[in-house]
Amino acid sequence: MAIVRAASNAIHALTLPFVRRSLQAAVIFGMALPASAQVDPRVIEQLQGRLQGTQDAGAQVDRAREQSDRVALPMTTEITSEERELRRQQSRIQLDSLYRPSPVERQYRERLGDTSLRQFGYDLFRVSEGGSGSVTGEVSDGYVLGPGDELVVTFQGATNSSQNARVARDGRLIVGTLPPIRAAGRTLGSVRTSLAEATRQNLLGTDVFVSLGGVRSATVLVGGEVERPGQYQVTALSDIANALALAGGVRKAGSLRNIRLVRGGVTRTVDLYALLGIGTAPRIRVQDGDRIVVPVIGDTVAVTGAVARPGIYELRGSASVGDVLAFAGGALYPRGYQIAISRIGEDGRETFVRPQGTAVAIWSGDGVQVLSGSAGAAFERVVLAGHVRNPGPRALSAVPTLADLIGGPEDLELGTYMPMAVIVRRNPLTGMRSYEAADLRGALDRSRPVALRGDDRVYVFSADDIAFLNSSATRQIILGQPNPRPQCLALEKLESLVADTQSPRFNVITRGTITVERGGRDVAASAGRALTGAGGIDQPLDVSQTRQGQAADGERGAECPEVFEDAPELLPVLIEHSVSVGGAVRRPGAYPVASSISAEALISASDGIMANVRDPMLDITPAAGAFRRYEMPEGQEDRLANVLVSAGDDIRVTANSAAYEAGAVLLTGEFNSPGLYTIRKGERLSELVARAGGLTDQAYPYGAVFTRRSVRDQQQEGFKRTARELNTSLLALASQENVNGQAIAAAGELIQTLSSTEAVGRMVIEADPRVLAQRSDLDPILDGGDTLHIPKKPTYVLALGDVSNPGALQFQPGKSVSEYVAEAGGTQSTADGGRVFLVLPNGSAQPVRSSFWRRSNAVVPPGSTIIVPKNLQPLRTLGIVRDVATIFGQLATAVASVAILADRN
């Protein structure tokens, strides 16, 4: 019973949206469903209840939507620290892409070949806006007071009071009954001492506490090489950096080390490098009337190479090599490095100088290059990186082979890809870099030992790294489409490489790919990714991949793997060493191999052959050679260990289709054992009915409701297509003169209803087992997802639409359509007697075409529905009555189907 109840709930959930839409359509055409019923009110009550419930629910939803339109929902603005940091990094990337080097930077970049060189220190003002200089935190006793400063003086003890006192223009400070105190030009600490002494003399038993409450303002003039020269209002707590920030900062043509501060006719020079960690300088606060002048940049020197902070630095007086190395944070290597200086001589020619020691003097315009330690040191070690437990450098003498470097299988991370590792190797004579593939499995079991050389870098990959090769983003790039993940450096470089070479170097990735159009753009879809059940039958193409790089079902490694971000050149190397694997394997795609590899090992790398396949065959299409096919008898898969394939080959495991469909079939109603049933390929309806124990004695197979997903999709598309065609016709008619406005409104309502109607996907079939036993051609083959409902034999006929008393009428054999309509009170004056529909219990519909339909001899079986539509005369003026009549017939058939489904419980 639980299975039957679950099956009933499932079909209820599937049909309820269709019931709502179909009943709404019925209301539009006058097929009102009254509460009264003459014979069988239960069905009418169910239909009415659903109609009323859905209408009430729809009204509530509409009211909620109206309220939500009027009330603005609060938006959450909180972001995590990680999200904030990500935004900052993205902003930096965007700013770097928009960066324009200054003339000084361009000159040094061309000479030294370092395109990353920038002038040091000018980022100091990139974010700062200067600020108002408001008082926050503690102010030191060394602050010098002046006219306009305000102090907060609090007395406690015999006298308790608090008051604000401002330094007057004459420089005096008057606090209550205390005698005036000279404050201007004195520090805050000395004034506090004077107030304490005056309090002891004049207010016995009272302590005084003094703090700075308000700071006087100052007007300064900022000029020279700043972004916005002019006069600025600051506070007395502001320093030169604050004033420069208000002026937009120093231009790259201006000096950071020789800024002039003019005060009372005296000029001081300020070095802003002290704010950047180079040198020390006292903080100089501005005063009212100060002038700050930024002159043109002075002598410069560039430092590049193996230093902590490469850049272009401004000199202030004489400097040595050691001084400029200190500017750059020092050399990365504590010893063994070399220094070369690019110097422009008196004749304008560039010369290279090898200084002896760091005490050698630097000339203006020098370019200092710090070269790392001797290359011979690098040749004494190797580096292990990637999906391993013990990455890092090793001494070559301790690990002469790849097996020694890794250690053993236990030193590999779970999910390590064994068929191929990559060794990045540098030629000691030419210095050129090369990439060599290594069989990781063969290296570890020493069947294919791999000797290492000095300065080798070994990369080991994970299964997710290999899955990234087969991602939709990689396929799209190789097909020449835009990069859907511009933040991924490896894909960005692959895109450039594909655009430059235009060669078939990477086509192994796209052999199982077809380009389709989706949403107005070309999309790469895999033809071999989705397989039905356990067989090798390709399903319809998965074209859900979009420009944004959404991952396909089962696609792993969606993010840009770390190994490809660290070494983006590895991605094309792996692709060109790949074998294409397809068919009945768990993860079809491209798999890199070091050299020749057994088909058994490659199939194992693709997670093996899917379970329950029948009679698999291995097809091999080599890059050079003839096609080969191998049988794979059950229990003898190890025979593929001697079948070798190489990079560029194509292999496919071909298998017969699965024994079972991917989806189940739902049986409800008058079956002896209703419920969900798995079905075999090619199973027919009669066979499934027999498995369900046959039909009960009350079953009415003539009223069977059989639905199929593919039919529902076709019907739904038909509704939308018809609505579009009607809308086009209606727009053309609306532009004409003398068009009936009411007819236009009625047609528009019809289009809206048709667009929102949900198809049920009903098929007219023969469901009587006795007939199917005699007529095998009428026995349908089942698909996964089919549903079949067999109702009880009804004792009524529905009369709906524009009749006087719509409802369920007692069925009587031989009674005609006209007699049933007469029993329902006859037609109303608004009825269209020439377009009466008779919907039979099996879902087929037929119009009672005779103009004298009252004399029609049409047979009316039990469970039929007679529908009398309203007169379509208002729509006749639009010239689309024929189309509307066809639509009405489709909706009438849907309403009749709903009537049967409503009675299924």
Q: To 10 degrees, the CA torsion angle through 448, 452, 457, 462?
A: 20
Residue 653: closest CA among 665, 661, 664, 645: 645
Query: How many Å apart are CA 688 and CA 699, to the nearest integer?
Result: 16
| pLDDT score, position 814 | 85
How confident is the chain (905 residues) per 10-residue block, as mean pLDDT? 42 41 42 39 46 40 44 55 81 76 91 88 70 57 85 89 89 88 89 90 88 86 94 87 90 93 91 84 80 95 92 93 92 83 88 88 92 58 89 86 89 91 85 89 90 91 92 86 86 85 74 59 49 35 36 47 90 92 90 90 88 83 87 71 89 80 89 92 92 93 90 82 73 61 66 70 89 92 91 88 86 87 86 81 77 61 85 57 56 61 55
Q: Please state, in angstroms and rounded to a whole number, the distance separating the CA atoms of residues 887 and 724.
A: 13
User: First-to-last CA distance in the chain?
Assistant: 13
pLDDT in tens, 592-643: 999 889 888 899 889 888 877 778 889 999 988 889 988 887 666 567 888 8
Position 687 scores a pLDDT of 93
What is the crossing angle of helices 881-902 and 2-28, to 10°?
Answer: 150
pTM, two decimal places: 0.51
Q: How many CB atoms lie within 10 A of CB 397?
A: 9
Query: E strands of 136-229, at which residues?
Result: 150-157, 161-166, 172-173, 181-182, 206-214, 217-224
| pLDDT value, residue 69 | 46
Q: Identify the pLDDT of residue 229.
A: 94
Residue 903, exposed/middle/buried by CB under 10 A (0-12, 13-18, 19+)?
A: buried
Nearest CA to 723 out of 753, 695, 698 is that of 753
Q: Which residues contact residue 899 at a Cβ distance below 8 angstroms, ignoring those fewer than 6 apart?
A: 43, 47, 798, 865
Question: Residue 326: its pLDDT value, please?
Answer: 93
Distance CA(605)–CA(627), nearest Å, equals: 22
CA distance 706 to 778: 14
Q: Which pLDDT score, from 0 to 100, does residue 887 have? A: 60
The β-bridge relationship of strands 837-839 and 865-868 is: antiparallel
Cα–Cα distance between 889 and 843 in angstroms, integer?
A: 12
The candidate with the shortest Cα–Cα distance to 746, out of 200, 3, 29, is 29
Interior CA angle at 623 toward 619 and 626, to 5°?
55
Coil, strand or helix: which one is 606?
coil
The 3-state DSSP class for residue 545 equals coil
CA-atom Rg of the chain in angstroms: 43
844 token code pair: 């087929």
